[in-house]
């Protein structure tokens, strides 16, 4: 998509993100899994694509040292305005680079107990080489015994239509349309959520580069990571051939 930058998604969605994606049962289960994993190993939790803090703030309230990276200053500004945000160390920058934010008294950032990327956020890295490099950096910042968790949708075996227009929501004051086009060769989906109101039109673009679970596993293996567990959701439902989503937990390959 011409003109699309790493910060575009967050910059355009920041004002509606918390309304469109509230803290729900899935988010609660996500926090529970991350917390359980983090209790096993010393070190901070690092969220890639921390956004407005939907997951990070509940983890910080439990007493965890939480840190995050996001490409969008608009998203992190929303986070910074919330109670408890001062406990979270945040960097605005390239999520794929995986630089652990340091606190003022730290000469070197500590190794992490958990590095996680939820809600398809990993697919926001738009090049396969960059996705692989991201996993390599995740491996590099892990503490011994730590893990990397990636949650995303499972691409359907039968490609969806090349393009479509659907209604996301409709009220007396607003209609939100979803417009998407797909490139199965490049494994790209690009689109807009288009908000129509009496005041005018608002465009909220997005772009992702999806990967199959096998491709993720291969990229993780190249980075020195191995699959430890995989579920169909954050509640721990066993992964199966018809699963629409996956939560994949990777650990370090032992020498």
Residue-wise pLDDT for 209-238, tens only, equals 999 999 999 999 999 999 999 999 999 999
Q: Where are the domains of the chain?
A: 8-154+211-252, 163-208
Condensed to tens digits (0 to 9), the pLDDT of residues 79-135 reads 999 999 999 999 999 999 999 999 999 999 999 999 999 999 999 999 999 999 999
Q: Which CATH superfamily is domain 8-154+211-252 in?
A: Vaccinia Virus protein VP39 (3.40.50.150)
User: pTM of the full predicted structure?
Assistant: 0.95
Q: Which of 68, 64, 58 is nearest to 42 (CA)?
A: 64
Q: Which CATH number fits domain 163-208: 3.40.190.10, 1.10.1370.30, 2.20.25.570, 1.10.10.60?
A: 2.20.25.570
Find, among 234, 206, 182, 201, the residue nearest to 71 by Cα.
206
List all residues 6 or more positions away from 168 whose beta carbon is below 8 Å from its beta carbon: 176, 177, 178, 193
Identical topology for domains 8-154+211-252 and 163-208: no
Q: At 164, which helix (H) or strand (E)?
A: strand 163-170
The closest alpha carbon to 95, from 71, 128, 127, 79, belongs to 71
């Amino acid at each position: 998509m011409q003109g699309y930058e790493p910060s575009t998604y967050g910059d355009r969605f920041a004002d509606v993100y918390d309304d469109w994606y509230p803290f729900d049962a899935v988010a609660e289960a996500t926090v529970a899994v991350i917390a359980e994993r983090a209790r096993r190993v010393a070190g901070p939790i690092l969220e890639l694509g921390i956004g407005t803090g939907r997951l990070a703030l509940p983890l910080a309230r439990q007493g965890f040292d939480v840190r995050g990276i996001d490409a969008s200053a608009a998203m992190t500004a929303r986070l910074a305005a919330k109670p408890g945000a001062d406990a979270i160390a945040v960097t605005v920058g390239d999520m794929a680079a995986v630089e652990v934010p340091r606190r003022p008294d730290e000469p070197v950032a500590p190794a992490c107990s958990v590095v996680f990327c939820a809600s398809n956020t990993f697919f926001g890295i738009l090049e396969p080489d960059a996705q692989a490099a991201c996993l390599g950096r995740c491996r590099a910042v892990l503490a011994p015994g730590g893990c990397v968790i990636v949650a995303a949708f499972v691409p359907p075996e039968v490609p969806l239509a090349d393009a479509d227009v659907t209604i996301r929501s409709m009220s007396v004051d607003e209609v939100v349309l979803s417009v998407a086009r797909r490139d199965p060769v490049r494994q790209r989906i690009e689109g807009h959520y288009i908000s129509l109101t009496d005041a005018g039109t608002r465009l909220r673009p997005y772009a992702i580069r999806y990967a199959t679970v096998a491709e993720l596993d291969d990229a993780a293996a190249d980075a020195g990571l191995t699959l430890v567990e995989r579920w169909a959701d954050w509640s721990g439902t066993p992964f199966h051939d018809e699963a629409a989503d996956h939560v994949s937990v990777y650990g370090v390959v032992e020498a």
